[in-house]
Amino acid sequence: MILSRLTQAFRDQNWFAVALEFVIVISGVAIGFQITAWNEARQDEVREALVLARLQADFEVIRANTETTLEDLEQRAGHAATLVSVIKDGSIAPASPEFQSALAVAIGTPVPAGRSATYIELVASGEMRLVRSEPLRRALVEFDEQVRRHELAYDTLAQLVIDNNAILLEYQSLLAAIEGDAGAYADDIERIRNSAELLASAQLMGSISRFNLSWNTGRLETANTVLEALSNAGG
């Protein structure tokens, strides 16, 4: 209909009508674009709210897991230090409950909490634009980079732990056999007491636990920074 009126106006050389029809057409197009843009903005707001909720859930789990890991590592570091002291103290028998308890807890190291699945998905899909808060974007990038560096370092540590645990587990098995019959294993007890290998392994486990404590403390701080930025973005 607009096209027929515009054609007729040209034929009649009614330039006012031509101009008016052009204004109507352009205004309609502009309004259409505005409505489309408004709808897209509303959809993005809804999607952003969903993304923020998922990130919140991810990082609350990451924070809780990291706090648990820190408690575990503090225990392991403490028991490794106790084990070193017990090994050096000739008055405490390797078959004693104190020695065996310290040895059991010093073995191994916890696996650190992983990355945010929501963040990984956002990056992979190119949807990071949905996170409009610049402080939140920076905090997410910093946390993920920190985790990736930790994972690379942990791969090296894990191999050290595996190699080292073989030594500690050997002594743990020997002590289990000694229990209740220390006299029959007098030579083995003395070997354990004077073992430089066991002492070095205990010291290494203490160092690994302290290293992991430092990394996970930093990870917890960065996770809290993300949660604070999420709180501000959600507000």
Q: What is the pLDDT of residues 23-46, one digit of tens each?
A: 555 655 556 556 554 555 565 567
Altogether, the residues listed in the chain come to a count of 235
- Token pair listed for 67: 């706090």
pLDDT at 220 over 90: yes
What domain range includes position 178? 2-234
- The pLDDT of residue 27 is 59
The label of the residue with tokens 């990291």 reads: 66
DSSP class of residue 126 equals: T
Rounded CA separation 86/196 (Å): 13
pLDDT at 175 over 80: no
User: Average pLDDT for residues 214-220, to the nearest whole number?
Assistant: 90
Distance of CA 31 to the CA centre of its chain: 46
Report which residue type is found at 124.
A
- Token pair listed for 143: 């946390």
pLDDT at 172 over 80: no
Mean pLDDT lowest for which of 68-72, 77-81, 154-158? 154-158
Using left for φ > 0, alpha for ψ between -120 and 50, and beta otherwise, residue 114 falls in beta
pLDDT at 186 over 80: no
The CA-CA-CA angle for residues 156, 162, 167, to 5°, reads 130
* Number of domains the chain is built from: 1
| Contact present, 222 and 139 (Cβ < 8 Å) | yes
Rounded CA separation 213/77 (Å): 9
Mean pLDDT lowest for which of 7-21, 88-102, 121-135, 214-228? 7-21
Nearest alpha-carbon partner for 137 in 119, 149, 124:
119
- The pLDDT of residue 198 is 76
